[in-house]
């Protein structure tokens, strides 16, 4: 109940402010234009648009190959296989990613959410999986073509105990049947920042 109240408060506050604005008799007859304008702005922010449509190419089921450079770019990486599906949720506002595979000989499962924040004009992402109790979040922008999305977020390093390490995520959409996701550790030398690459091929 508390969460529902917190989410409802900004909406209610906006409506109350609009409703409480001085209005003439003509305004009242027109149905309170201030209220109508407030509702219009909220609907604009809540409606999926062209930025969301750019993510539509990701919807579907994919074969995934994950490459992890645990000991640097000069050492052989660890390579694992898996499956990933993306589906639209909440009326086309977010893409839900469901990933399964294997990590170090153990079953791997993960859940991601991709979206676009109309108000802040940024792409957003969230990720959780069974290898950690952390919730990874990031936001960013797309290049002019809309096919390369670059996000920045923070990550804690359990091995060293470091908190708040800056991480770059890059999503490259290479066509309707291929995309690549990269994770970069920006604390590393420039030639060795890429720690993870996941290559996705559409499953037919």
Residue 34 pLDDT class (50, 70, 90 cuts): confident
Q: pLDDT at position 30, please?
A: 53
Q: pLDDT at position 87, please?
A: 98
Superfamily of domain 51-202: Calycin beta-barrel core domain (2.40.128.20)
- Rounded mean pLDDT of 133-139? 96
- Rounded mean pLDDT of 91-108? 94
- Pick 98 or 30 by higher pLDDT: 98
Residue 15 has φ and ψ, to the nearest 5°, of: -70, -40
Q: pLDDT at position 84, please?
A: 98
Residues 117 and 51 sit within 8 Å (Cβ to Cβ): no
Q: 88-98: per-residue pLDDT in tens?
A: 999 999 999 99
Please state the domain extents for the chain. 2-46, 51-202
Please state, in angstroms and as integers, the Cα–Cα distance from residue 22 to each residue in 13, 33, 46, 117, 156, following that order: 16, 11, 27, 32, 51
- Pick 197 or 20 by higher pLDDT: 197
Residue 158 CB-density burial (10 A; 0-12 exposed, 13-18 middle, 19+ buried): exposed
């Amino acid at each position: 109940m508390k969460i529902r109240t917190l989410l409802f408060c900004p909406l209610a506050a906006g409506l109350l402010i609009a409703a409480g604005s001085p209005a003439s008799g003509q305004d009242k007859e027109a149905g309170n234009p201030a209220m109508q304008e407030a509702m219009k702005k909220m609907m604009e922010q809540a409606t999926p648009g062209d930025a969301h449509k750019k993510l539509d190419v990701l919807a579907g089921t994919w074969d995934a190959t994950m490459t992890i450079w645990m000991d640097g770019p000069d050492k052989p990486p660890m390579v694992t296989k898996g499956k990933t599906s993306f589906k639209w949720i909440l009326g086309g506002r977010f893409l839900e990613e469901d990933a399964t595979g294997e990590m170090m000989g153990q079953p791997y499962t993960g859940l991601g959410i991709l979206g676009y924040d109309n108000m802040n004009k940024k792409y957003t992402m969230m990720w959780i999986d069974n290898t950690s109790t952390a919730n990874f979040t990031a936001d960013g922008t797309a290049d002019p073509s809309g096919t390369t999305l670059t996000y920045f977020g923070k990550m804690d390093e359990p091995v060293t105990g470091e908190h708040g390490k800056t991480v770059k995520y890059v999503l490259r959409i290479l066509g309707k049947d291929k995309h690549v996701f990269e994770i970069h550790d920006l604390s590393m030398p420039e030639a060795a920042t890429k720690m993870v690459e996941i290559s996705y091929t559409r499953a037919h």
